[in-house]
Amino acid sequence: MFSGEKQTIQRMQPLLQRVLICDPSPHSARYLNELMRDISRAQVWIAPTNERAIRQAGICEPQIIFVEYKSEAVNGLAFTRELRRSTLGCRQAPVIMVTSEATAVAILGARDAGVHEFLRKPFSLKDLLRRLEAVTLRSRDWVEGVGYVGPDRRRFNSGDYSGPLKRGADNPESPDHGKLQQALKILRAATAAIERDPQQAVRAILAQAQIIEKVGQATADLPLHTAATKLYRHVQWSQGGATPTTEQLTPFVIPLLEYLKEEPAGQKAA
């Protein structure tokens, strides 16, 4: 192993002490277990089903999770979606999906479920280290939406996609502009979903209000910052009672949505 790799492993080790492997195959799980113990001397828990993995995640609070894509006992997409929408402390932990089925459908499915990285079987130690480095040392922004919860999909590193960027926010006027526009789109969707999915909608609204507050502060936009603060406080205070309705949220959301720039026809919203 080269000295550069040793240094990288040393930097990653504190973030790889608790590992959960969701895989019904004893052979595959054992192989990954041995590699992780060699890399970081990690404590490793193995679960052969989605149900066991979710329960174990609540107990051991893993720092990183490996999950099989699909089998009779494990559905990695369903597991990841459940984890992301749960109340577990590890709901934002990096998830690496492992499979021999590295098709475009599988990769896109993993990305949209909230997976961080995609690892194709058979894989080498070098392949594994690249994925671990990506999730520990090159972290991505977290997206707390309603339709999607997980790492920012615009930089999904599957190793298989090298096409052009296609979203309007991929080339924003500035980083703050891109963050603001994405947060406003999520805020609009979450407000509309408050009755349908109240828990996740509230979580999404609070997260976007905080992002917008920071953008307002960074850009010295006092009205934007103030409006975001008012929204956050209104929703946070309401948590002691009933979930706010769309009608109750609207007066606080409208001043913010005035900053939303609609994308040209044919481009997807965030």
Q: Do 245 and 266 form a contact (C-beta atoms < 8 A)?
A: no
270 within a domain of the structure (yes/no): no
> What band does 34 get if pLDDT is binned at 50, 70 and 90?
very high
Q: In terms of residue numbers, what domain contains 215?
A: 168-257
The confidence band for 5, taking pLDDT boundaries of 50, 70 and 90, is confident
Instruction: Give 207-265 pLDDT, tens digit per residue.
Output: 999 999 999 999 999 999 999 999 999 998 875 667 889 999 999 999 999 999 876 55
Both tokens assigned to 208: 């976007």
- Three-class DSSP category at 70: strand
User: Please, which residues have CB within 8 angstroms of residue 103's CB and are 6 or more apart in sequence?
Assistant: none
**Six token digits for residue 139:** 């972290």
Contact 27, 153 (CB under 8 A): no
**72 pLDDT tier (thresholds 50, 70, 90):** confident
Confirm whether 151 is domain-assigned. Answer: no
Pairwise pLDDT comparison (139 vs 169), residue with the higher score = 139
pLDDT recorded at residue 237: 83
Question: Which residue, 129, 144, 159, sits at the end of a domain?
Answer: 144
Does some domain include residue 21? yes
Would residue 212 count as lying in a domain? Answer: yes
**Per-residue pLDDT at 234:** 93
Tokens of 65: 């999770």
Q: Are residues 113 and 208 in the same domain?
A: no
**pLDDT exceeds cutoff 60 at 167:** no
User: Could you tell me if 51 and 126 lie in one domain?
Assistant: yes
CA–CA separation, 7 and 237 (whole Å):
46
228 in the same domain as 178: yes
Residues 56, 120, single domain; the answer is yes
Are 140 and 240 in a shared domain? Answer: no
126 shares a domain with 199: no
Helical residues (DSSP H) of 3-161, grouped into ranges: 3-12, 26-40, 50-60, 76-84, 104-113, 125-137
Looking at the structure, do residues 122 and 176 belong to the same domain, yes or no? Answer: no
Identity of the amino acid at 120: R
| Same structural domain, 115 and 31 | yes
Residue scoring higher pLDDT (180 or 72): 180
**1-5, 153-157, 231-235 — which one is most confidently predicted on average?**
231-235
CATH number, residue 109: 3.40.50.2300
pLDDT for 157 beyond 60: no
Same domain for 185 and 57: no
pLDDT tens sequence across 92-147: 999 999 998 878 899 999 999 999 999 999 999 999 999 999 999 998 999 999 99
Structural domain count, the chain: 2
Residues 175, 133 share a domain? no
Residue 232 lies in a domain: yes
Pick 105 or 19 by higher pLDDT: 19
Over the stretch 173-199, which tens digit does the pLDDT of each residue have?
688 999 999 999 999 999 999 999 999
- Residue 163: pLDDT band (50, 70, 90) is very low
Q: Which two tokens stand for residue 162?
A: 């090298």
